[in-house]
């Protein structure tokens, strides 16, 4: 917890999402999404990284109240899940929701505490608050390094897109250049990278397979 409190970016993000949870409760709006339909659509894109034909382990970085775990239970059989979040209130909510689950654990941290087959990060790069674009991009790249280091088989993440209509953008959100991140992932992490920008939302999903 102390490392989160001492990091200005993580501390601000923790406060932001804790307030969203308090205001909207355990649901898509509680993690700053518009609705359940969009949330499920995002999960489907991100989970394209998973080979569900065999048992797997997964780190969910920025797990919120644990919605991805519910989705995985409906889609896959044998897996082990670790949810990681910087908001203590989110972790407490997730633990309460999944109380008694044998294959789920939750960690209050800014990064995974163990290596898994897959890593997923949904929505954690969107809310930059008062950080500059340059500073936020630096944080994004550092976090992708963490995802890479803590994933054996592959990882996936999403970002709001720089191709968003200007009248739909908000000044406290970060809109990433998908081409720049595709190039980064190809050069730094793997030759096997997929970019999905065709599912009807103002965002994109990147899949990195090792």
Tell me the C-alpha to C-alpha distance, in Å, between residue 121 and each of 2, 19, 125, 140: 22, 20, 8, 11
**E-only strand ranges, 5-142:** 56-61, 79-85, 104-108, 116-121
pLDDT by residue, tens only, the chain of 210 residues: 446 656 878 877 777 777 776 776 665 555 555 657 888 999 999 999 999 999 999 999 999 989 999 999 999 989 999 999 998 888 999 999 999 899 999 999 999 999 999 999 999 999 988 899 999 999 999 999 999 999 999 999 999 999 999 988 999 899 999 999 999 999 999 999 999 999 999 999 999 999
Tokens coding 136: 């936020």
Q: Tokens 């190809």 — which residue?
A: 186
d(CA 200, CA 162): 14
What's domain 2-209's architecture? 3-Layer(aba) Sandwich (3.40)
Phi and psi torsions of 59, nearest 5°: -100, 125
Q: What is the DSSP string of 136-177?
A: HHHHHHHHHHHHHHTEEEEEEEEEEETTS-GGG--TTB-EE-
Q: Which residues pair with 81 in a beta bridge?
A: 58, 104
What pLDDT is recorded for position 29? 55
Q: Tokens 């674009």 — which residue?
A: 133
């Amino acid at each position: 917890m102390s490392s989160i409190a001492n990091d200005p970016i993580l501390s601000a993000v923790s406060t932001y999402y804790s307030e969203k949870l308090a205001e909207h409760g355990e649901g898509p709006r509680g993690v700053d999404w518009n609705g359940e339909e969009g949330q499920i659509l995002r999960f489907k894109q991100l989970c394209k990284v998973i080979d569900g034909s065999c048992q797997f382990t997964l780190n969910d970085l920025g797990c919120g109240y644990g919605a991805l775990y519910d989705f995985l239970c409906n889609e896959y059989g044998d897996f082990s899940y670790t949810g990681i979040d910087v908001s203590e209130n989110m972790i407490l909510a997730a633990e309460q929701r999944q109380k008694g689950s044998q294959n789920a654990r939750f960690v209050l941290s800014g990064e995974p505490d163990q290596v898994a087959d897959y890593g997923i990060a949904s929505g954690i790069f969107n809310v930059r608050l008062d950080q500059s674009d340059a500073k936020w991009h630096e944080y994004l790249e550092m976090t992708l390094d963490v995802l890479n280091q803590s994933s054996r088989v592959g990882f996936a993440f999403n970002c709001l897109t720089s191709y968003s209509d200007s009248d739909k953008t908000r000044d406290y959100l970060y809109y990433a250049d998908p081409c720049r991140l595709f190039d980064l992932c190809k050069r730094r992490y793997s030759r096997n990278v997929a970019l999905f920008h065709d599912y009807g939302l103002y965002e994109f999903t990147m899949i990195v397979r090792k």
